[in-house]
Amino acid sequence: MTVEHGGDEAGADGGVGSGINPPVRRVSDWDAERLSALADAHDTPLYVQDLDRVRENCERLLAAFRDADVRYAVKAHTGRAVLETVRGVGFDAECASAGEVDRALAAGFGGDRLHYTAVNPPAKDLDYVVDVAGSEPGLTVTVGAVDTLDRLAERGYDGRVCLRVNPGVGAGHHEKVRTGAAAKFGVPDDRAAAVAREASGRFDVVGIHAHAGSGIDPDQLDAHRELVSRMGDLARSLVNPRIDGEDTPDPIDLEYVDVGGGFGVPYREEDPALDLPAVADATRGALGDVPGATLAIEPGRYVVADAGVLLTRVNTVKPTPDGTVVGVDAGMTDLLRPAMYDAYHPIRNLGGGDDREPPAERPVTPVTVAGPICETGDTLCRDRPLARPARGDRLAVGIAGAYGYEMTSQYNSRPRPAEVALSDGDARVARRRERLADLTTLERDSRDRGGTDRSGADASRTESGADAGEVDR
């Protein structure tokens, strides 16, 4: 497999509507004036998600993986605007929780385009998904443990099932997201065929599934190819079983072999983009022919990562003996990846603050960009060369569209940021900014409601009477 460089074709301000579809959009490719105007209009911190870029990324995947089933990994970005966009280009939805299934249904996905791929699913999630399958029989449940198969059967479910396999091959940008060899995920490879055959007597087994990990870069593609090869061998043993000296088991008519997603994007400016057509060709070659079965993939990060930026504003510039610390209004509650994975995100100074000199004309200086959270790890970068920041400057944090908003939190009682969606030159608020009052909307004081101060049902019911943990359809 080879790689290609990309991203400079769009020019310094390629941005929205440039008509160019490079393999990656760098933070320098966004229109600085447009981003600054959005920051002024909607305040900061602010996520900006370009739906036109989401469509471009989807189109590139469809062109490379011809004749494959493409399922968007919803966990990368669950916003309604993004879900409706990927549905519109023809992707299915791969959902890791009942909440994601609920979001996908609300965005217009039918059951025949829903794939529930949970890990150790809670009882309430299974209850909800089995209920959905009653009215949406095309929904597929991906299962990674015999125990989960039993739990489904106990609920009367006998519908479409896909078996998740642990092939013993993992890859990804960080050890915390390498799933292919982690015991938590999937039935062990040496037991997968037997489990699939047993399950076929209780369910409609339609596929097998494996996923190496998230953020696979060009240097890790051999691991992806090995995973795909093992899945191809397993699929052929199920479709056309041959066991010498024993009773030959009945074949399983698989509809698809799902080899996951995890296709990486280059976060660092000097890193190359994946040569996606070469990855697709190598994936097909490694899988080989599986009679009657279609190749399926589950991209998430690749679809949305470079379609999003996080805008933040400088509030403090503090010289110290160890360097300059630049304080901003976005922290680990707004973008967790740097603190959690030591992840790199490119940062661009858009200017607009007290220093009226354009950033391009300012000296470049190493700075640590730190957020407002009371944690040492709350930094977006350390000793990063940046056009000299001044109080009031807007900074654009690039490649923030995947797992950015999704991992936001209210830690330190900070309201979550707003998100703006761009499409065809227009901007609209896709998610409003939380207010301080939103921080306490789920809290209830039993004395105000005439209830008892117990930890049982009275204290945990919502206004509608449903359990606080339930998903209301």
- What residues act catalytically? 374
Best CA proximity match to 121, nearest among 132, 110, 111: 132
- Cβ contacts of residue 148 below 8 Å, gap of 6+? 120, 121, 126
Residue 190 near residue 357, CB atoms below 8 Å: no
Question: Residue 298 is which amino acid?
Answer: E
**Which residues, in sequence order, are bridge partners of residue 427?**
422
Best CA proximity match to 417, nearest among 301, 308, 312, 305: 312
Residue 182 near residue 167, CB atoms below 8 Å: no
Residue 209 near residue 197, CB atoms below 8 Å: no
Residue 264 near residue 301, CB atoms below 8 Å: yes
Q: How far apart are CA 209 and CA 231, in angstroms?
A: 8
Give me the half-sphere count of Cα atoms (radius 13 Å) on the Cβ side of residue 12: 5
H helix or E strand, kind and range, residue 447: helix 446-449
**Which residues, in sequence order, are bridge partners of residue 461?**
467
Residue whose token pair is 């370009």: 50
Q: How far apart are CA 307 and CA 433, in angstroms?
A: 20
Q: How far apart are CA 64 and CA 313, in angstroms?
A: 39
Q: How far apart are CA 389 and CA 276, in angstroms?
A: 37
Which 8-state DSSP code applies to residue 375?
S
**Which residues, in sequence order, are bridge partners of residue 397?**
310, 347
